Structure 1
Amino acid sequence: MIDLHCHILPSMDDGASSMEESLAMARIAVADGTRTIVATPHVKNDIPSPQLIERKIALLTECLQQHNVNLDILPGGDVSSVLPVDIVSLYTLNRSRYVLLEYPHSHLPANAEQTIFEWRLAGLWPIITHPERNPGILKNPEALTRLVEVGALVQITAGSLAGGFGADAQACACHLVSSGLVHILASDGHSSGHRLPRLSEGLRIATQLIGKAAALRLVEDNPAAIISGMVVDV
Structure 2
Amino acid sequence: MSRNRRVALLGGVAYLITFAASIPALPLLEPVTGHAGYVLGAGKDTQVVLGGVMELVTAFACVATALALYPVTRQVSRTAALGFVSSRLVEAGLILIGVVSVLSVVTLRQDLGGAPDAPTALTTVAQALVDVRGWTFLFGPGIMPAVNALFLGTVLYRAGLVPRLLPVLGFVGAPLLVAKTMVGAFGGMADLSVAAGLLTLPIAAWELGLGLWLTFKGFRPSPALVREPAPA
TM-score after normalising by structure 2: 0.26
Larger radius of gyration: 2
Higher relative contact order structure (alpha carbons within 8 Å, sequence separation ≥ 6): 2
Please state which structure has a larger fraction of its residues in strand. 1
